[in-house]
Structure 1
Amino acid sequence: MKLKLDKALSLVALSVIGVLQGANAAPVYEIKNLDDIYSQTDGAELIGTLQGTRSGYGMAINGQGESLGVAKGKKYLSVSEDDDGVIDIEDGIAPEERIVLSINTPIKANNFTFTAQDNDPSSKNWLPVFDSVNGTTDPGLTDADVPETINSVDAYYYGINDSGLKVGSMTAPEQTETYTGNTAGQKFWYYRDFEERGFVKNADGTETAMVPPLTEYVKDDETPAVNVGGYSVAAKVNASGLVVGYVGTELSKNAKDRIDGCIESDTYPLDICVQTLQFPYNQYGNSYINYQVRGYVWQVNAEGAVTSEYELPLGLTPSSGSTYLYRAQGLGVNKQGTVVGRSHVYRRGNKDKLALDAAYWIKNEASGEYDEDSYNWVPMIDNRYQSIAYDINDNGILVGSYKQYLQGYERDKFFYFDTTNGTEDEGIVTPYDFSSSAGISDLSSKPKDINNKGQVVGYIETTHDKEKPRPKAGFLFDKETDDFRNLNQLLTCESKGFEKDKNGDWVRIKVVVPNGNSEEPLKYNRDLVIVEANSINEDGVIVGTVFVRKPQYKFDSDGNLVIENGEPVFEVDGNGDPLTSYLPRMVVLQVNGEEASDDWLKANNCVDNNEEPDDYERKGAASFAWLFALPLVWFRRRYSNK
């Protein structure tokens, strides 16, 4: 069910809709990498993230059963009391290394790329396999005594096509400059040539950097050019190798002023001074070098080489002499080359109504280029004050979300729009979600991907708490039937962590872990919750992120893992039960041929008190928040209006 713009339905009609909601049968899903998520026998095959990292996220999947992921958080490894060596703790919640970016210490990376495949001949199915970008080394093989194994490059995967062409973004590797300051014992300053650059990597492993149009700043004719690195991100690629993303085209006025200060100062060498501006200055990752940002398109051939490139037109013409930072991004593309994303625009030509809104760009068929007429606004009513488009299928159906105050709070709402015949009068379509019985609910929701069958995946909030963060769940929406489902309700009981007992009743599977301060092992309930679906292929295979329940380790006041009898010790509650929390892991969902009819739901009524996790912050998974806006996180880091 759905609402178009703000057209109201009567309460009677809405109550009928509520009854009809869920009447359509949806596919039943299995978690295909389930067994090894809870592997107890071989930590090296813990599926869901890379060895040596704390968190894993499924980002994209193509039609050939190839998926991409990002591993985040280099794990902190502890040394046992009897100095037997490093303990790589896999079966519980362990802290990650605290990464501090500074010109005075070596640069350590904290984000790594991996692939996972169905029917992989070289490893287990859907096992995350490290995939090097820009010379990165496997985080599981890092040795502090071997400098060449320590990563200084952060890398991210965002998209893959059926030919195996992968796209994402990366940093440059660390470089050093001889230290001339006053700190005793320091030999070098540390910097990188750039902090964000898009790339493509073909199936043969050839990498091509998406060099942005601006990489240097020139103050005047008498001053040498200053390397600022530039800014670019490759967000998605279609079947013909058309890559879409966004780039920095011009430095902001404040960024130029700050670089001028580096040129005029002798406190640091120039490259080092510029790097102090590039590193984040707050917990949100913002830096002091900001750009005008524009959507961008690169055409790439089979060898991964860029054959042509275009800047997508902005949704408005900036005023002469304006220093405001106007932005646009390309985030999705279909086989016809229609690009979707967002751009600043004056709504309906009114310069008093500047908004950052969802947009799409249609290629000129005659010229094959994106000319000044290629931009199209996705119409929004005024109380929806900001919007974004994430993806578009080959039928021209665009999916995105808008921001609106609902019941007094800012919320994001999923919408779709037909670019082939949608008009401003017809408007966007906001589907009813699974808890909406009297109009649009106040549950925030964002779509991430749509396939050609009209199946949409993303995430939605699951509670109506007003004053605290809300837990989230992955969703599956079928445009053809208006069926909106929480993916956790479409899972088989086995995929939720259940098994049948001798009486034929569903019960939680008990996970057994050794505990160092007890002869008896600890037991806790297996529990998995799909919190985000990021990509769906034409066969309905979904990749995303699952929260997996794990016990928490005990650490002493110095932050060292407590070891007793050669085993780590777990935190327990007053009853001696292990304290547990959730870890994010890459998850692969595949249909099993059944349908979630009423009869199936009754037979698979496996529900208990462990169904719903707490919000991310309370469960120690705040790092998951960065994923919600990928690949927009770096956009926010660099583009506050400074």
Structure 2
Amino acid sequence: MKLKFDRALSLVAIGVIGALQTAYAAPVYEIQNIEDYDLNGTLESTINGYGISVNQNDQMLGISKGKKKLEVNNEDGGVIDIEDGIPPEQLVTYSVDKPILANNFTFFAEGNGWLPTFDSVFGTTPPKDTDENVPESVNSVNAYYYGINSAGVKVGAYSAPEQKVEYTGDKTGVHEDQEFWYFREFEERGFVKSAAGNDVPLIPPYTVYTKDDTNVTVGGVSVASAINENNVITGYAATDIASSSASRVDSCITGEAYPVDVCVQKDQYPDSNGYRRILYQTRAFVWQFDGSDSVVATELALPENLDTTGDRVYTAQGLGINAEGTVVGRSHINRNGDTDKFAYDAAYWMKDDTGNYQYNWVKMTNEQLSSIAYDINDNGILVGSYKQYIEGYLRDKFFYLDTNQADPALVTPNDFFNVMSDRSSRPKGINNKDQVVGYVEVSSEKEKPRIKAGFLFDKAADEFNDINDLLVCGSRGYVQDAEGKWERNKVTVIDDSGEELSYDSDIRIVEANSINDDGTIVGTAFIRKPSYQFDINGELVIGENGKPLFLLNANGQPVTSYIPRMVVLKPTSSGTACTEKDDDNSGNEDYERKGAASFAWLFALPLVWFRRRRHS
């Protein structure tokens, strides 16, 4: 196990080693969905895009989030062009007092251009065609894609559409003109979409709460996380309601302030910290899909030593699956049968000789506080991460494990410095050539958030690379001048006065989520865009000529920020990895740009898509 950290090496020395280290034969990559140093990486009328999964036929799935708010308070009250910078986002709030607006949209792209194309789930409508001022056009269904196999069968999760009931509450103050309360039948339900486009819901075993003679639809939870080539799906689903949550529903039944469905919806919505008040007993599942419209569900067992008769909430999740049907994910467990060692750990479920699934714990030490398995390939190599304090700080560390071994032990690979550093890393996918992709921290601050980058790890070569170091220069935002010298591409924008402003192109891979056997990678990149000025009410500041004003620094240059976009990368033999260095000290060293740019996005990976898969 590669677990030693050479404490004699200072961070400065480590940085030098990282800068000098070269890959033995790492592939060179080129971004495929780049156009004019920008990325075609989200749906029209949305701001943010994320690449989620790619199959062996170069077909990929993604998610767009953040519907653009195109109406601004200018003198004419019309729509203006705000495509040159980062537009404002339509505000979506969780409230039973307001209509439900969707903010997550599914898209599909493939290798004949990789242009994101809206892909409807259960009647969802494209974000460009929805207008909150035209109620009949509003899409209230949030949808998420998580996996696609080579037959084009897709899996994910979606929410129920909005329902409404007459408002009978207090009609004073902000509620003076309120006509309805708004709710959904469920917040999250798995689905499979056939190659022919049929949407099939994966209904969890538990959807209705019963108290005496009263039945209340609470909806339950289910998610389809991954699918293999045999149309076997894995994920998780609710099998019961938590006892504490049952008490909340009881209060809704006896309460008089709201109709029962509306009261339950209030508790289904997350609070300000993102936590939900209604929780479910959740188990890992597999579903066999017939390719058309039918599924057969199988619940996967918890560890044998868990006593689930009490009030504690027990959770297990299937997150990845290989051709043999082996499922990986995580589950609550009493480590080594010790009830004092209750943990949430990586696990895998493997079929025995009779075809029944058997639970297997990925053994952890007491120093490893929790763990999770994300994916497994057809060679039986499982990839995941664990949490552990390293030099006094809680970090995530990427590991792999060979499930074919009689007594498999996890291996923590070295990262950039040929040691196990204190930089957090998480894998997200592995192909059948044992190539792993994920994200890793690439800055070394102890007390500050760290910048992240997508990584590519080759198990056979034990080679770990920041994907940004494998890109050709054109895929990093550089352009070659007449003398063959590389320099940052200059982007020009026009402000309200007609003056030309410019800033440097910049493309950074911050997360890699999936890799197929040909080495095609999909994930998320940040691109640089100028920021507009906003007033104290959050409205765009419009100039005398009716155009929005850019935010400028003391030198009169646009202040830029990063926004996430889906990215597709393929190995190339027609170029070399870019060796150009900026004054930002990027790569494997601390990132301290001297220009005017906001790096807030760089410190927080766009993991919104995965939060839907990680109920605690």
Q: TM-score, normalised by structure 1?
A: 0.89
1:331 correspondence with 2:319? yes
Deviation (angstroms), 1:352: 1.9
Please give the alpha-carbon distance, in whole angstroms, between the structure 2 residues aligned to 1:329 and 1:521. Answer: 53
2:479 matched to which residue of 1? Answer: 499
2:146 matched to which residue of 1? Answer: 158
Please give the alpha-carbon distance, in whole angstroms, between the structure 2 residues aligned to 1:8 and 1:483. Answer: 17
Q: Which amino acid aligns with 2:254?
A: E
Mapped contact 2:585–2:592 kept (Cα < 8 A): no
Q: What's the CA shift string for 1:118-148, capped at 9, x where partnerless?
A: 11xxxxx111111111211111112233212
Deviation (angstroms), 1:260: 0.6
1:233 correspondence with 2:226? no
2:99 matched to which residue of 1? Answer: 106
2:108 matched to which residue of 1? Answer: 115
Mapped contact 2:510–2:525 kept (Cα < 8 A): yes
1:190 correspondence with 2:185? no
Deviation (angstroms), 1:36: 5.4
1:143 matched to which residue of 2? Answer: 131
Task: Give the RMSD, CA atoms, in angstroms.
Answer: 2.4
Mapped contact 1:387–1:403 kept (Cα < 8 A): yes
Deviation (angstroms), 1:607: 1.5
Deviation (angstroms), 1:614: 7.2
Aligned residues: 599
Please give the alpha-carbon distance, in whole angstroms, between the structure 2 residues aligned to 1:576 and 1:510. Answer: 16
Change (3 A) 1:298 1:614: farther
Please give the alpha-carbon distance, in whole angstroms, between the structure 2 residues aligned to 1:577 and 1:332. Answer: 46
Deviation (angstroms), 1:79: 3.2
Q: Which amino acid aligns with 2:187?
A: E
Q: Which amino acid aligns with 2:377?
A: N
Please give the alpha-carbon distance, in whole angstroms, between the structure 2 residues aligned to 1:442 and 1:131. Answer: 41
Please give the alpha-carbon distance, in whole angstroms, between the structure 2 residues aligned to 1:198 and 1:594. Answer: 42
Aligned-partner SS, 1:563: coil
Deviation (angstroms), 1:364: 3.0
Pick one of 357, 366, 380 that aligns with 2:345: 357
Matches within 5 A, 1:219-230: 219-220=211-212, 223-230=213-220
1:34 matched to which residue of 2? Answer: 34
Change (3 A) 1:19 1:287: closer
Aligned-partner SS, 1:218: strand
Matches within 5 A, 1:584-623: 584-593=564-573, 600=576, 604-610=578-584, 612=586, 619-621=599-601
Aligned-partner SS, 2:573: strand
Mapped contact 1:27–1:594 kept (Cα < 8 A): no
Aligned-partner SS, 2:214: coil
Q: Which amino acid aligns with 2:204?
A: P
2:273 matched to which residue of 1? Answer: 283
1:41 matched to which residue of 2? Answer: none
Please give the alpha-carbon distance, in whole angstroms, between the structure 1 residues aligned to 2:353 and 2:304. Answer: 23
Please give the alpha-carbon distance, in whole angstroms, between the structure 2 residues aligned to 1:391 and 1:502. Answer: 46
Aligned-partner SS, 2:314: coil
2:368 matched to which residue of 1? Answer: 384
Deviation (angstroms), 1:171: 0.4
Mapped contact 1:316–1:344 kept (Cα < 8 A): no
Please give the alpha-carbon distance, in whole angstroms, between the structure 1 residues aligned to 2:515 and 2:503. Answer: 32
Please give the alpha-carbon distance, in whole angstroms, between the structure 2 residues aligned to 1:287 and 1:10. Answer: 42
Please give the alpha-carbon distance, in whole angstroms, between the structure 2 residues aligned to 1:296 and 1:328. Answer: 9
Matches within 5 A, 1:449-460: 449-460=429-440
Deviation (angstroms), 1:172: 0.2
Aligned-partner SS, 2:383: strand
Please give the alpha-carbon distance, in whole angstroms, between the structure 1 residues aligned to 2:110 and 2:19. Answer: 40
1:522 correspondence with 2:498? no
Gaps of 5+ in 2: none
Aligned-partner SS, 1:276: helix
Q: What's the CA shift string for 1:420-474, capped at 9, x where partnerless?
A: 01525xx21111001x34x310000000000000100000000111111101000
Aligned-partner SS, 1:209: strand
Pick one of 278, 291, 300 that aligns with 1:302: 291
Q: What's the CA shift string for 1:461-498, capped at 9, x where partnerless?
A: 00111111101000000001001000000000010111
Change (3 A) 1:504 1:26: same
Mapped contact 2:159–2:187 kept (Cα < 8 A): yes
Pick one of 167, 170, 182 that aligns with 1:179: 167
Mapped contact 2:31–2:570 kept (Cα < 8 A): yes
Change (3 A) 1:618 1:257: farther
Q: Which amino acid aligns with 1:29?
A: Y
Deviation (angstroms), 1:248: 1.2
Please give the alpha-carbon distance, in whole angstroms, between the structure 1 residues aligned to 2:18 and 2:592. Answer: 27
Please give the alpha-carbon distance, in whole angstroms, between the structure 2 residues aligned to 1:542 and 1:591. Answer: 9
Please give the alpha-carbon distance, in whole angstroms, between the structure 1 residues aligned to 2:414 and 2:253. Answer: 56
Pick one of 354, 364, 369 that aligns with 2:356: 369
Change (3 A) 1:478 1:320: closer
Aligned-partner SS, 1:68: strand
Aligned-partner SS, 1:431: coil
Aligned-partner SS, 1:380: coil
2:395 matched to which residue of 1? Answer: 411
1:402 matched to which residue of 2? Answer: 386
2:65 matched to which residue of 1? Answer: 72
Mapped contact 1:80–1:566 kept (Cα < 8 A): no
Pick one of 155, 165, 169 that aligns with 1:167: 155
Q: Which amino acid aligns with 2:452?
A: K
Mapped contact 1:534–1:544 kept (Cα < 8 A): yes
Deviation (angstroms), 1:287: 1.4
Mapped contact 2:452–2:605 kept (Cα < 8 A): no
Please give the alpha-carbon distance, in whole angstroms, between the structure 1 residues aligned to 2:452 and 2:327. Answer: 28
4+ long deviations beyond 4 Å: 6-12, 17-21, 622-626
2:82 matched to which residue of 1? Answer: 89
1:322 correspondence with 2:306? no
Aligned-partner SS, 2:247: helix
Please give the alpha-carbon distance, in whole angstroms, between the structure 1 residues aligned to 2:297 and 2:184. Answer: 26
Change (3 A) 1:10 1:231: closer
Aligned-partner SS, 1:254: helix
Please give the alpha-carbon distance, in whole angstroms, between the structure 1 residues aligned to 2:380 and 2:24. Answer: 24
Gaps of 5+ in 1: 39-45, 120-124
Q: TM-score, normalised by structure 2?
A: 0.92
Mapped contact 2:560–2:598 kept (Cα < 8 A): no
Deviation (angstroms), 1:414: 0.3
Please give the alpha-carbon distance, in whole angstroms, between the structure 2 residues aligned to 1:407 and 1:520. Answer: 51
Please give the alpha-carbon distance, in whole angstroms, between the structure 2 residues aligned to 1:265 and 1:235. Answer: 37
2:412 matched to which residue of 1? Answer: 430
Matches within 5 A, 1:516-555: 516-517=496-497, 519-555=498-534
Aligned-partner SS, 2:535: coil
Deviation (angstroms), 1:256: 0.4
Change (3 A) 1:10 1:546: closer
Q: What's the CA shift string for 1:595-638, capped at 9, x where partnerless?
A: 8xxxx55xx421112464679x963538964517x4344533xx
Q: What's the CA shift string for 1:395-424, capped at 9, x where partnerless?
A: 000000000000100000000000001525
Q: What's the CA shift string for 1:238-281, capped at 9, x where partnerless?
A: 00100000111111111000101111112111111111111112
Mapped contact 2:332–2:342 kept (Cα < 8 A): yes
2:261 matched to which residue of 1? Answer: 271
Change (3 A) 1:21 1:336: farther
Q: What's the CA shift string for 1:526-573, capped at 9, x where partnerless?
A: 101000000001110000000000100112333322233243221111
Mapped contact 1:471–1:614 kept (Cα < 8 A): no
Mapped contact 1:460–1:472 kept (Cα < 8 A): yes
Q: Which amino acid aligns with 1:196?
A: E
Q: Which amino acid aligns with 1:329?
A: Q
Q: What's the CA shift string for 1:179-210, capped at 9, x where partnerless?
A: 11122221111000000100011121100001
